Every structure is written in C-alpha cells, then in structure tokens.
Amino acid sequence: VEVHADDVPKGGKVVIVDDLIATGGTLSAAARLFAKGGASLAGVFAVIGLPFLDYASKLGTIPTKTLINYNSEHIDS
C-alpha cells in the first residue's frame, strides 16, 4: 500500500473503499498510513466481505461495512 503525503487530508476524516475485504491486512495497513499522515479514519467500506477469514480481528474497532458477505469459500448452487 502506498499513499503520497500530499494526498492525506491532515486533520480530515477518511473513508477507505475497497472491492474486497479478505483478511483485513491491506485495509489495516492503509488505515495506519492515513493515521501516520494526520487523518482520522471514519470507516471502511468494501463491496465484498469474507468474514470467515476473520478480517474483524485486524480491523478492530474501525467501523466496517460491506455490501455482500460470503461466509464460506464454497458457493452452493
């Protein structure tokens, strides 16, 4: 994850939007980068969440919303 310092709104609030939350590692790293740059994280949104991979343990108290959750790696037909 890479963020340019000029892109971080110091003192501002940020919502991170991603296509997929699997383990939460990428979003957790992004949250740390924004915090290091002086922004506060209002929350995280992803189109797809894979809660069975326990992303909540890495994201902790960060407000997290997903549009669709898959609770298994198997898709029943």
pLDDT in tens, 8-58: 888 999 999 999 999 999 999 999 989 988 999 999 999 999 999 999 999
47 within some domain: yes
- Say which amino acid occupies 22: A
The CATH number for 49's domain is: 3.40.50.2020
Check residue 43 and give its pLDDT. 96
64 within some domain: yes
Residue 60 pLDDT more than 80?
A: yes
Domain holding 47, by residue range, is: 15-69
Close Cβ partners of 32 (under 8 Å, ≥ 6 residues apart): none
Query: How many domains does the chain divide into?
Result: 1
Residue 63 pLDDT more than 80?
A: yes
Residue 74 pLDDT more than 90?
A: no
2 within some domain: no
User: In 10 A of CB 64, how many CB atoms?
Assistant: 19
Check residue 22 and give its pLDDT. 97
